[in-house]
Amino acid sequence: MTMDVILLTIMMFTTVFAAPAQPQTQEDVFILCDGNPADIFFLLDSSSSIWERDYNKQLKFIQKIVDFFPVSSTATRFGVGIFADRYTQVIGFDDFDNADDLKLAIGGIEKGLGDTQTGRALRQVRRQAFSQARPGVGHVLVVLTDGVSRNTQETRREAALLKAQGIHVFAIGIGNALDTNELEAIGSDPKETHVHEVADFNVLNRIRNKLAFQVCKAQGPEPYCSAGMNTDVMFAYDASSMGTKNSRHVQEFIGDTVQSFGNMDDGTIQTGVISGQCHGDNVNLDEFNDREAMAAYVRNNDFTGVDEIVRDMHENSYQAARGGRETARRISVVIVDENVEKIRNLEREMKKAKSKKDIQFVVIAVGESSEFDVLKPLVMKPTEAFFFEVPSHSDIGNIKGQFVDSLCEGFKVPGPRGPNKVYYDNFEDIVPISNLILD
């Protein structure tokens, strides 16, 4: 990585986190960062195309950045991971509570070999590293790479999920074998401050003071995907008609979506799954208050399902016996494919759910059947934001970013928690403004 790289990175932080005049000394940075902790993770390309001496320049640069921060369990924490064919988390946020030991460990990180599997690495950083990040502090990921990933689609998808969790991602490309479009997909917005390409690894240290200052000013973002009131979200699909292979795509999709929810841990959002009549396969709304545990369960459980799932959902899933809350807003995500035998029956049950239980719908239609059109009038408004169509089950992952964005925007109605903001505990209280969220 070059010094120009970090100069550009500093400029990125300057735009994202407005700050007073830049301090000129290490002491100034210490004073500022002592009151502004952050969890900062560096993801380093360790593929075979990077020479050993250039790889070591990245390590030395990170060591010098550490010198500017009050490293402790309550101040600034650092993590480091490397990737090539495989990803390895070498240093976690909880591993070191002092700068000397941290720097010594960084200097000893051995280089790997192999291809550039960026997408796999991003997924592991999200699931492993940032699952240990602290709430209420700045979450920053700096990705350094010298080439194009082996699976661009996977890289784009995993970068979107990271950003959906409120992590500020900076993509820094080094050399002349880069894909600008892929770098832009990795980095956060605005692209001009989060995505940079540089020629070589030789000038990193020129901008370490400025980078350190801007990183320490990163404040903890408001959770990206937080509901403005108690919200019960059910995912409904027919696993029996989809088959095991296709259901796995759906399970993975639901798991990734749940991991984006910003205030599930405090109970504001409750999430459940119904995929058949056998209650042992379903997840009640009060069963999980931990998004990681919920996501892992959905991905790994073997669901079986039958017809009339939506009827079972609106008649039973939101009841107190299954963890439902009488005063909570009710949202249902229905995933349906071309194997559905009675689309008109599904339409009828959704209408009942809306009229009798105030359930709001989001639909994902898999396949190219024109019969799906009868469901469009039943989803939340605007229709184009809450009715999704994909050609096959294997393509459902391609809409993850767009889907999560739409669902999280829907959560914001009628308004988030916070100073001078109205917070509704009872769904009936928002009836006067129901035109914003219901038919």
Domain ranges in the chain are 3-216, 231-436
CA 283 to chain centre: 22
Neighbours of 302 (CB within 10 A): 10
The two structure tokens encoding residue 238: 């027919």
The two structure tokens encoding residue 119: 């997408």
The two structure tokens encoding residue 206: 């020129």
According to DSSP, the residues that pair with 364 across neighbouring strands are: 335, 388
Length of the chain counted residue by residue: 439
**364 vs 86, 378, 379, CA distance in Å?**
33, 12, 10
**346 vs 266, 305, 437, CA distance in Å?**
33, 15, 21
- CATH class of the domain whose range is 231-436: alpha beta
Give yes or no on whether 3-216 and 231-436 have one common fold: yes
H-only helix segments in 22-98: 26-34, 52-66
Q: At what angle do helices 208-216 and 3-16 cross, to 10 degrees?
A: 30
Distance CA 148, CA 155 (A): 10
What is the SS3 assignment for 7? helix
Output the tens digit of pLDDT for each of the chain's 439 residues.
444 444 444 344 433 333 334 444 566 556 556 656 788 899 998 888 888 888 888 888 788 878 887 889 988 899 999 999 999 999 999 999 999 999 999 999 999 888 889 999 999 999 899 988 888 778 889 898 887 888 888 898 888 888 877 788 888 887 777 788 898 889 877 676 677 777 666 655 555 665 565 565 544 444 567 776 788 999 988 887 888 888 889 988 998 888 888 778 778 888 989 886 454 556 778 777 778 878 877 777 654 433 478 888 888 888 888 888 887 889 999 998 887 767 888 888 888 888 888 889 999 999 888 888 999 999 988 888 899 999 999 999 888 888 888 888 788 654 333 444 443 343 334 333 333 332 2
The CATH number of domain 3-216, selected from 3.40.50.410, 3.10.20.30, 3.40.50.11440, 3.40.50.720? 3.40.50.410
